[in-house]
Amino acid sequence: MFSKAFKTLAAATALSAAMTLAAHAESVLRIRDVGDIQQMDPLLSTNYPMRDMSYLIWDTLFAMDDDFQVQPQMVDTYTVSADKKTYDFTLRDGLIFHDGAPVTSADVIASINRWMGKDSLGQEIAKRLDTIEATGDTSFRIVLTEPFGQLLNGLGRMTAYPLFIMPERIAETPIGEKLPELIGSGPFKFAEWQPGVKFVVEKFDGYIPRSEPPSNLAGAKLAKVDRLERITIPDDTSAVNALMAGEIDYVTEVPYDQLPLVESEAELTTATKPQLGKSLQIVLNHTQPPFDDIKVRQAVQLALNQQDFMTTLLGDKTDLYELCAAIFMCGGPYETDVNSDRYMHPDPEKAKALLEEAGYDGTPITFLHPTDQQFQRDMGIVLVQALRNVGFTVNDQQMDLASMFSRRNNTGAPSEGGWNMFLTAFGGDAMMDPLTNPYVTGACDKAFVGWPCDEELQANWKQFLLADTQEERKAAAVAIQDRSNEIVTFIPMGQYYGKSGWNTSLDGMIQSPLQVYWNIEKTQ
């Protein structure tokens, strides 16, 4: 009896040891990103954390490389007809979904149709679409009614609403309804989701990466860990403490005031991420006095100093910001300094003179000023003081951030709940391209809040949309910036960067305007 018990105990011990060894053999990457994930439908929201997880689960037909050029991803080969209206595509061999089903042209067509119903560039493609049809199990054809040079850029769209390929039965889900399953063909598969706690994906062994090296979102997507856990930690200080204690491996945004603490730890490292950073913008309401007058708007350009804003934000951390003339981001493919002199070389005396020339009568500027977020509170103080220094009367409306986001949609006069001015920030992935930059359409009541209305800007934007070559797009982007800065659709007040922090045992970070988690491995 003793012998039997001993054997049973020995077997149990061996099994436990084997399980422990297996657990240790599994590599787990634990990250802390900003915010939480409340829903997982990449066509329902532009929420960055959700989008970044979506790139792990779903793959794309094309993807942008380090030079922001689209490259085939799920697509193997494609051809374009001489009249530039017919595109034939063939998928790579061996592509399968996480449930084991092969990726077919029917899945692709259903995904494209769903995407065209939501994305702005997808809608432009839909306007010019003649037919989209399968030409084989893994090949399909798109026929346009007219040449449209943005087709491939749309299929490889990096941000806003990327075109992720889903199984046909899932892609047929109406936008607004919950996706029945989170099944894609990407390098990781969905494993677990506890809102407010964690979101988990696991390596998909059936994924076949491309042979090219990783390059932004293009090239090989190599899953080098078995499991990735996105841990929700609401408090920044708690997240940094968890990183220092080794409880998590990676923090996407280290608070500026805690960077010295993280950088003092030998087993931790930091780096500027993501690429391009963010842009600070001052937004003016073109529909309400006094900013319905172009000279008054230009006086604001002359009154504000990028250095004041960036110094207030980052102090002596000069490596984390730059004074930038480009409305499409410094370092982006459409960078230019055209017509930036007023805000790059501010002059309060010229601002005062321009206000006098415009006949400004002291009409109050209603500024929406959130005070529950340090970024908004501190930048708002700088803005208000600069405006008052040149003679503006400012109604400094202090509120919480949620109220600002709600009130800025009000098209009425300030006395009726409207507004004249607010400040905000967008990431470089949105600002870098005229088709994702929200400020430059000139589309009147269909434009982004502020509602600039200008036929010349609309024509420039359309010229970019219809351009066939990158050279033509660059020329159109320069024209857009020239006109945008002339009528003051918004005022860029500097480009700044965050820093990610991670354990030195991690390797393989990819430089990108997004948070990219494939290719990361744990070397210890």
Average pLDDT over the chain reads 93
Predicted confidence at residue 25, as pLDDT, reads 64
The pLDDT of 176-195, averaged and rounded, is 96
CB 204 within 8 A of CB 169: no
- Please state the domain extents for the chain: 30-35+181-274+499-522, 48-171, 278-496
The pLDDT of 261-274, averaged and rounded, is 92
Please provide the distance, in angstroms rounded to a whole number, between the alpha carbons at the two ends of the chain: 45
Least reliable range by pLDDT among 44-58, 206-220, 447-461: 44-58
- The pTM for the full model equals 0.88
Predicted confidence at residue 3, as pLDDT, reads 39
Predicted confidence at residue 48, as pLDDT, reads 85
pLDDT in tens, 385-414: 999 999 999 999 999 988 999 999 999 999
Predicted confidence at residue 184, as pLDDT, reads 98
Quick one: fold of 30-35+181-274+499-522? D-Maltodextrin-Binding Protein; domain 2 (3.40.190)
Asked if the model's pLDDT at residue 16 lies above 60, the reply is no
pLDDT in tens, 36-53: 888 899 999 888 889 999
pLDDT-derived band at 35 (thresholds 50, 70, 90) equals confident
Least reliable range by pLDDT among 11-25, 105-119, 385-399, 435-449: 11-25
Class in CATH terms, 278-496: alpha beta
The pLDDT of 487-502, averaged and rounded, is 97
DSSP class of residue 493 equals: E
Asked if the model's pLDDT at residue 250 lies above 70, the reply is yes
CB count in 10 Å sphere of residue 166: 28
Asked if the model's pLDDT at residue 2 lies above 50, the reply is no
Least reliable range by pLDDT among 14-23, 25-34, 344-353: 14-23
Let me know the angle formed at the C-alpha of 427 by 332 and 75, rounded to the nearest 5 degrees.
65
**Which residues, in sequence order, are CB contacts of 489 under 8 Å at separation 6+?**
439, 440, 442, 450, 452, 457
CA nearest to 313, candidates 374, 254, 397: 374
CATH-assigned architecture of domain 48-171: Alpha-Beta Complex (3.90)
pLDDT-derived band at 9 (thresholds 50, 70, 90) equals very low
pLDDT in tens, 136-177: 999 999 999 999 999 999 999 998 899 999 999 999 999 989
The pLDDT of 117-128, averaged and rounded, is 95
CA nearest to 204, candidates 98, 103, 101: 98
Can you state the percent helix, strand and coil of the chain, rounding each to 5? 35, 20, 45
CB 230 within 8 A of CB 194: no
Beta strands in 66-197 (DSSP E): 70-72, 75-80, 86-91, 129-136, 139-144, 164-165, 188-194
Asked if the model's pLDDT at residue 20 lies above 60, the reply is no
Asked if the model's pLDDT at residue 378 lies above 80, the reply is yes
The pLDDT of 270-287, averaged and rounded, is 93
CB count in 10 Å sphere of residue 318: 10
Asked if the model's pLDDT at residue 11 lies above 70, the reply is no
pLDDT-derived band at 327 (thresholds 50, 70, 90) equals very high
**Which residues, in sequence order, are CB contacts of 448 under 8 Å at separation 6+?**
438, 439, 441
Asked if the model's pLDDT at residue 4 lies above 80, the reply is no
The pLDDT of 6-20, averaged and rounded, is 37
Predicted confidence at residue 63, as pLDDT, reads 98
